[in-house]
Chains A and B, each alone.
Chain A
Amino acid sequence: MKFCTVKQYFDDENNNNVTNGIATTVIPLPNKHLKIKANNKEMEQYEQELLRNVMPQELTKLILAANYLNFKEALDFFCRTVANAIQNKSVDYVRKFFGLESDFEPGEEEKLCKEFAWSFEGVDED
């Protein structure tokens, strides 16, 4: 069952994976999740809220916590929310979102863009 790992967490004092703050956000999730599943609109709002208010560090901790607690639905939900948000965005947007920089040689990136030109159709404006 989902909550046997939670009990384990409380028993395990030297746990770095899940801080107290995150535990209080992740653990009430099942109930909220069940309530949200009923209403699609609420789900969208919750997703927007998640992306706007939760900073990357928090989101990282949520995802890692869900993974550690083996809470598959929460992991899937958080990752899918982020994936949906970036799936039609430009490469620059994605770089900014993840805090990455291009480390390609000058001509390399262009070559790749040509090779995968078909994947660049239908990208949203920044």
Chain B
Amino acid sequence: MNSVKHGFFPDEVIFHILARLPVKSLFRTKTVCKLWYRLSSDKYFIQLYNEVSVKNPMVLVEVSEVSESKSSLICVDNLRGVSEISLDFLNDRVKIRASCNGLLCCSSIPDKGVYYVCNPMTREFRLLPKSRERPVTRFYPDGEASLVGLACDLWTQKFNVVLAGYHRSFGHRSDGTFICFVFDSELNKWRKFMSFQDYHFTHMNRNQVVFVNGSLHWLTGSSCIVVLDLDCDIWRKMSLPDKLGYGSGNRSYMLELDSCLSLIEISDSWMNIWVLKDYVREEWDLADRVSLRCIRGLVPGIFPISQTSEYVFLATHKQVLVYQRKNRVWKEMYSVKNGCTLPLWFSAHAFRSTILSCH
């Protein structure tokens, strides 16, 4: 145990206290003294901070209220409530495409093909080099990626951005060629590879991508999981739980649960939480079965966004709710005051507040 002491508290105690400060407060403490300034760049402290934050689930939602012309970004934090976040530091109008371990991948709205990776809490950002030589125009429509994935490794502090889409020549349908661009943060370069598959993705599938075990996972419209192994650039398939209900009115969403792949299945009165306990053998376990009786009226329009073993965050058209698994209690965390143009679940992302750097 570290018994070095500065002031009243030993360093070890200070580490544990500061690891529980919100990022904004943590940055303020950099001006306390030289030691504390160096603290937030200390590898051990960064890991401790990120470990603590992994247990605190959050949801980031773009809210575009009817009364105001522009949209704002809201962060719903289980511990600290609702706050507004600004991505103004990017100096660009952006859309959030993916979220992973505290970093966001955003695409520029005015400049197609321009991507940023940023940490909205520390305000660090990195403009990614262009992925393709020629700009995207209507003559080369193999443009806006169908799938966008962000894979941030908390231990190595490196990340990958994946842009994947079907190749389609002007005026033709997709020929099944799946083109994938992968950005490596360490090499600061994109690499490209192609494969052949025929998967169908809905908007909801595209929004929910899970990074576990060094791979990115997407749920397809054809009821299987598509996996991109980033170590060897290989796509493969994974199967869903055998006992998954396939009736009409049964829908499934893929989320992370404590570093495991999880599937949340919603029917009209139940929510089943599946966890992939054995990744190699593809064995699923039913972790919880939640009655949806008390939110009966909301069920058709409710979507799970983020979870831990204690909480599940869900979004409806106008609200963000949290379900506490231990006490079996539902709580409304946020609700839009005036009408909004887009449903909240449409642009809601799982999030956690880490001090992961994008450089």
Chain A residues near B (Cβ < 8 Å): 17, 56-57, 60, 63-64, 67-68, 75-76, 79-80, 82-83, 86-88, 91, 94-95, 98-104, 109, 112-113, 116, 118-120, 123
| B17 contacts chain A at the CB level, 8 A cutoff | yes
Contact of A60 among B13, B24, B123 (CB under 8 A): B13
- For window 29-59 of B, CB contacts with A under 8 Å fall at 29-34, 36-37
B32 touches A82 (CB 8 A): no
Name the residue of chain B whose CB is nearest to the CB of A118.
Answer: B123
Residues of chain B contacted by A57 (CB below 8 angstroms):
8
Return chain B residues, CB-CB under 8 Å to A88.
25
Pair A109/B31 contact, Cβ less than 8 Å: yes
14 new A-B pairs (CB below 8 Å) besides A91-B28, A100-B7?
A: A17-B1, A60-B8, A64-B13, A67-B1, A76-B20, A100-B33, A102-B33, A103-B34, A104-B34, A112-B30, A116-B28, A118-B24, A119-B27, A120-B28
A99 x B8 contact (CB < 8 A): yes
Give CA–CA (A55, B25) in the complex, Å.
Answer: 23
Q: Assess the A94–B32 pair: CB atoms within 8 A.
A: yes
Check if A79 sits within 8 Å of B33, measured CB to CB. Answer: no
Q: Is the CB of A113 within 8 A of B31?
A: yes
What is the chain B residue whose CB lies nearest that of A111? Answer: B31
- In the bound complex, residues from chain B placing their C-beta under 8 Å from that of A79 are 13, 16-17, 19-20
Find out whether the CB atom of A112 lies under 8 angstroms from the CB atom of B33. no
**Contact partners of B22 in chain A: CB under 8 A:** 87
Main secondary structure of the interface of B (DSSP, over half): helix
Residues of A within 8 Å of B224, CB to CB, are none
CB <8 Å contact, B8 and A104? no
Partner of B21, one of A83, A98, A103: A83
Looking across the interface, which residue of chain A has its beta carbon closest to that of B15? A79
Q: Known: A60-B13, A75-B16, A86-B25. Is A91-B32 also a contact (CB below 8 A)?
A: yes
Is there an interface contact between B20 and A64, defined as CB atoms closer than 8 Å? no
Q: Please, which residues of chain B bring their CB within 8 A of the CB of A104?
A: 31, 33-34
Is B87 close to A, CB under 8 A?
no
Q: Give chain A residues whose Cβ lies under 8 Å from the Cβ of B12.
A: 64, 67
Contact status A116-B18, CB under 8 Å: no
What are 10 A-B contacts defined by CB distance under 8 Å?
A: A60-B8, A75-B16, A76-B20, A79-B20, A83-B21, A91-B29, A95-B32, A99-B8, A103-B34, A116-B28
Name the B residues within 8 Å of A83 (CB-CB): 17-18, 20-21, 25
B123: nearest chain-A partner, CB-CB: A118
Complex CA–CA separation, A97 to B316 (angstroms): 43
Q: Which of B16, B20, B27, B34 contacts A116 (CB 8 A)?
A: B27
A98→B14 contact, CB < 8 A: yes
Bound Cα distance from A120 to B1, whole angstroms: 33
Say yes or no: is B337 at the interface (Cβ < 8 Å to chain A).
Answer: no
Name which residue of chain B comes closest to A83, CB basis.
B20
Question: Could you tell me if B9 and A60 are in contact, using CB atoms closer than 8 angstroms?
Answer: yes
Given contacts A63-B16, A67-B16, A79-B16, contact A99 B21 (CB under 8 A): no
CA distance A120 to B24 in the complex (A): 8
CB neighbours of B28 from chain A (8 A): 91, 116, 119-120, 123
